[in-house]
Amino acid sequence: MPQQLLLHSPLDMHLHLRDGEMLQKIAKESAYSFCGAIVMPNLTTPVTTKEAVIAYKERIKEAIGEEKFEPYMTLFFKSDFDRTFLESLKAHITAIKLYPAGITTNSFGGVSGFDIQTLQKTLQAMSDLEIPLCIHGETNGFVMDREAEFVPIYERLATAFPKLKIIMEHITTKASVEALERHENLYATITLHHLLITLDDVAGGLLRPHLFCKPIAKHPKDREALLDVALKAHPKVMFGSDSAPHPKEAKETCGCAAGIFTAPIALQMLAELFEKHGSLEKLGDFVSGNAKRIYSITPLSKTVVLEKSPFRVREHYNGVVPMFANETIAYIIKEVING
Ligand code: NCD
Ligand code: ZN
């Protein structure tokens, strides 16, 4: 019998489910294999109100149909959110996502300065109400240096609000990994693609638009640092796919949109990667255990049975091209058991 691997209640702690037609096209890919996900709020009109959070969650639930899947909702950070507003939202959201203005897809309404005074009111209220802060940590400097340049901002915020849980989203650098050790209240999500590729894979040969994302994949030494903490399921890191679908036409064009669609192959490829490095016993903590503890959540129970058996990845999912399209990967999802 082929080798099997059981994953209990896998969670995706950073996911773009989009809206409208795209939501209908891709939601089930995550809802099938994960038991829940932190849903990003960067819709064309960002999710900034209670009504918008509730209505978006409804649309997600409709799109996923019968699948057992919890969308953990987030709000798009604004520095004028006050305590009363956040209190009224607390039951409806799991975190708030902060984007620097204009740094990535649909982030134009984000934050344009990081002085503590401007952010004080909202961050103090979040800290008091125990609402975690997720940050897309990039400056608008040179593209390869943006994340490392943001590390001092993470550190200033972590020091100013020591009780606030700050999640450094989709980290790509050794500098971010090292910052985890310096502040008790800093945590991180790590994507599949940043564990697998470097800038060489994106632009070292022919340009690969389906591997283009923000933050851009970096240097081999950065990937090594990420692999080191992911493969041992360091208690402060968790899996967040940052699966970010765009229509094929928006990727294969002059002016390619940033984002890699990994949802349909994420768990299979994580199994392949962890097996290759002899770390399969740590995969459960990386994709579930750590997130449960960091976010204090009790996810829905679902068991994903992975089997080592070659599988050719589809060319597209309703017109959205996944990572590893047309390539053969080592694991399949054999079965998903609700329980
Ligand atoms: C994301 C998207 O398309 O929404 N793109 C990406 O390259 N990761 C936004 C983000 O997380 O930066
Ligand atoms: Zn993202």
Does the pLDDT at position 299 exceed 90?
yes
User: Measured in Å, how far apart are the chain's first and last C-alpha atoms?
Assistant: 23
Residues having C-beta closer than 5 Å to ion ligand 2: 242
Instruction: Please pick, among 12, 19, 222, 242, the residue that the annotation labels catalytic.
Output: 242
- Residue position matching structure tokens 């400056």: 139
**309 CA → ligand 2 middle, Å:** 30
Q: What pLDDT is attached to residue 302?
A: 98
Distance CA 298, CA 8 (A): 12
pLDDT digits (tens, 9 = 90+) for 250-266: 999 999 999 999 999 99
Please report the domains of the chain, with CATH numbers, ordered by start residue. Answer: 11-262 (3.20.20.140)
- % residues pLDDT > 90 (the chain): 99
Is 242 catalytic? The answer is yes
pLDDT digits (tens, 9 = 90+) for 156-167: 999 999 999 999
Distance CA 73, CA 60 (A): 10
Specify whether the backbone of 170 is left (phi greater than 0), alpha (psi in -120 to 50) or beta: left
Q: DSSP letters along 194-229, please?
A: HHH--HIIIIISS--GGG--SSPP--HHHHHHHHHH
pLDDT digits (tens, 9 = 90+) for 26-81: 999 999 999 999 999 999 999 999 999 999 999 999 999 999 999 999 999 999 99
pLDDT digits (tens, 9 = 90+) for 275-289: 999 999 999 999 999
Q: DSSP letters along 282-315, please?
A: GHHIIIIIHHHHHHT--PPP-EEEEEEEEEEPPS
Q: What is the DSSP letter of 245?
A: -
Does the pLDDT at position 152 exceed 90?
yes
Which residues make beta-bridge pairs with 12? Answer: 37
Tell how strand 303-312 and strand 4-8 pair up: antiparallel
Q: What pLDDT is attached to residue 2?
A: 85
Judged by DSSP in three states, 324 sits in coil
Which atom of ligand 1 is closest in space to residue 213's alpha carbon? 7
The residue to mutate among 15, 42, 44, having the most atoms of ligand 1 within 8 angstroms of its beta carbon, is: 42
pTM beyond 0.95: yes
